[in-house]
Amino acid sequence: MRQEDIDVWRTAQKHAISGGGAASQERHKARGKLPARQRISLLLDPETPFLEVGQLAASGLYDDAVPSAGIVTGIGMIAGRPCMIMANDATVKGGTYYPLTIKKQVRAQKIARENRLACIYLVDSGGAFLPLQDEIFPDEHHFGSIFRSIAEMSSQGIPQIAAVMGSCTAGGAYIPAMCDETVIVRETGTIFLGGPQLVQAATGEVVDPQTLGGADLHTQQSAVADHYAADDIEALQLVREILGRQEANALPAPPTEPRAPLGSATDLVGLIPESPRQKLPVRDILNHLIDADSFSEYRARYGTTLICGTAHIGGYPIGILLNDGILFSESAQKGANFIELCCQRDIPLLFLHNISGFMVGAEYEAGGIARHGAKLVNAVSTARVPKFSVVIGGSYGAGNYAMCGRAFGPRLMAMWPNARTSVMGGEQAAKVLRLVREGQAGTTMDDDEREAFERPIRDDYEAKGTPVHAAARLWVDAVIAPDETRNWLTLGLALARSTPKERTQFGVFRM
């Protein structure tokens, strides 16, 4: 793997976990508040991992001033049960919600809902980032959907618990107000629909934050909160106790004994070529990801550019689709058929993207590649078994769709640092646009003109196809190292196994 790809990712990661500037962090501590990430580690069962979701959100956006989009979200174990934790980082612009903060919390709630994870909201936020209100307030997936999800998940029996550990203003006040049970911290926690500034502007009343919405008011008079905590540590302990009092399923054990893969996880990075132009040794990579000797290949001699087969990862069964070349009609049909089998047998699906797209050209169009490709996209769309996507190489054009890109609802989706994604490769896009321009003008460009025209397009595609660019916009949940992939998938499969099975009803396949 290219060192440059690793360095770019690690630099973005370092910035993402850095929180707000030194001055706001000092102020936060001086108020007796713990940093968001420390709150999470105190909440989790000791020595258990935290699978962070959307860590790189907003990386490079908003002048790079909103690390992790101002909210830390991820899956961890609390009182023996898997939970989704959402913790505002008040050191980043008062923990206010930018468009990507909303998108990140909406995504975290979706993961929680699909996996029936208890939701813990560690609230410390000034609500909407007012200059961008039109991008966060009124639409379907905006702020309102966060509150609606709390109510809907509660109605489905998925616990919704809030700890108010700082400001909780305006729309944000509905998070604790709508949760099943709410803890509030003395002196630092406040909940109000309108903060002191707004109250003064609206009615002329001058009131301090604690009188307006502090812990005493809400636990003695208003009952907007249920539990009173002396400080952050006590609040986190109370949340653990609330969860501990409820009956919950622990993560289900794998149905078969997990076996180490044939190749060691640490060797995996070495298998990724230095140049993205070099072919990935996909069968070798597969052997480093799955339990040893567990792969049973489906139609190994047919449609060979899409490897399909069942295996185990960490002892959990999985159906794998892995690209080894361009998608042809045969490989697409084989993939659709394999998905049907997995749905019939309740086997979750893993898509390992390494795809430049579908084959093009007169012969293939005449052979109906659009119709055969549509079968695969149809099967991917309607399959109701849990789906997971990892982009291990390229993920381009309709190949991304056929391999369960973001729009097709994978329960978790990640990219490796060497991976790339866009509607087509930069070089192809530059050539296509140049040919269109030449066609319009009725002339042909010389070499210099060609380079001057194509280079900015190539550069733009390269910059916008990277894993950090994708993760910053939440097109994927995480950028993960190849050697983390097995653990990441094992947790995803364990979570999926504890959710009710759903019957698949496919749409009309064009035969």
Q: Least separation, in Å, of the C-beta of 303 and ligand COA?
A: 54
Q: Which of residues 194-223 bind ligand COA (CB under 6 A)?
A: 195, 197-198
Q: Residue 51 corresponds to which tokens in the numbers above? A: 């699978």
Classify the C-alpha dihedral 460-465-466-471 as positive or negative.
positive
Position 81 contacts ligand COA (CB under 6 A): no
CA dist., res. 66 & res. 83, Å (int): 25
Q: Least separation, in Å, of the C-beta of 64 and ligand COA?
A: 14
Rounded (10°) CA dihedral 81, 82, 83, 89: 110
Looking at residue 276, what DSSP letter applies?
A: T
Position 94 contacts ligand COA (CB under 6 A): yes
CA-nearest of 282, 342, 332, 279 to 302 is: 332
Applying CB under 6 A, which of residues 35, 127, 213, 386 lies at the interface with ligand COA?
A: 127
Select the residue whose beta carbon is closest to ligand COA and give its number. Answer: 126
CA dist., res. 407 & res. 381, Å (int): 9
For residue 16, the tally of other CB atoms under 10 A from its CB is 24
Decide whether 132 or 370 has the Cβ nearer to ligand COA.
132
Strand pairing report for 71-78 and 50-53: antiparallel
Q: Least separation, in Å, of the C-beta of 63 and ligand COA?
A: 11
Q: Least separation, in Å, of the C-beta of 242 and ligand COA?
A: 26
Range in contact with ligand COA (rule: CB under 6 A) among 122-130, 177-185, 251-259, 344-352: 122-130
CA dist., res. 389 & res. 485, Å (int): 11
Binders of ligand COA: how many residues, by CB under 6 A? 17
Q: Least separation, in Å, of the C-beta of 44 and ligand COA?
A: 26
CA dist., res. 499 & res. 511, Å (int): 33
Range in contact with ligand COA (rule: CB under 6 A) among 125-133, 307-315, 398-406, 491-499: 125-133
Position 461 contacts ligand COA (CB under 6 A): no
Helix H or strand E encompassing 27: helix 22-30
- Phi then psi for residue 319, to 5 deg, are -100, 125
Task: Using alpha carbons only, give the angle 80, 83, 84 rounded to the nearest 5 degrees.
Answer: 160
Position 169 contacts ligand COA (CB under 6 A): yes
* Count of residues in the chain: 511
Range in contact with ligand COA (rule: CB under 6 A) among 193-201, 468-476, 490-498, 501-509: 193-201
Position 96 contacts ligand COA (CB under 6 A): yes
Applying CB under 6 A, which of residues 99, 126, 373, 394 lies at the interface with ligand COA?
A: 126
Q: Is 125 exposed, middle or buried (0-12, 13-18, 19+ CB in 10 A)?
A: buried
Position 254 contacts ligand COA (CB under 6 A): no
Range in contact with ligand COA (rule: CB under 6 A) among 91-99, 100-108, 260-268, 496-504: 91-99
Range in contact with ligand COA (rule: CB under 6 A) among 112-120, 168-176, 390-398, 493-501: 168-176
Applying CB under 6 A, which of residues 130, 230, 341, 435 lies at the interface with ligand COA?
A: 130
Applying CB under 6 A, which of residues 9, 98, 121, 129 lies at the interface with ligand COA?
A: 129
Beta pairing partners, 306: 323
Q: Where on the phi/psi map is residue 350: left (φ > 0), alpha (ψ -120 to 50), or beta?
A: beta
Decide whether 91 or 329 has the Cβ nearer to ligand COA.
91
Q: Least separation, in Å, of the C-beta of 191 and ligand COA?
A: 12
Q: Which of residues 170-189 bind ligand COA (CB under 6 A)?
A: 170-171
Q: Least separation, in Å, of the C-beta of 128 and ligand COA?
A: 4
Q: Least separation, in Å, of the C-beta of 151 and ligand COA?
A: 20
Position 22 contacts ligand COA (CB under 6 A): no
Decide whether 191 or 429 has the Cβ nearer to ligand COA.
191
Decide whether 129 or 316 has the Cβ nearer to ligand COA.
129
Classify the C-alpha dihedral 145-146-151-153 as positive or negative.
positive
Beta pairing partners, 352: 322, 390
Long-range contacts of the stretch 454-457 (C-beta < 8 A, 24+) = 454/427, 454/430, 455/430, 457/426, 457/429, 457/430, 457/433
Beta pairing partners, 396: 422
Binding footprint of ligand COA on the chain (CB under 6 A): 90, 93-94, 96, 126-131, 167, 169-171, 195, 197-198
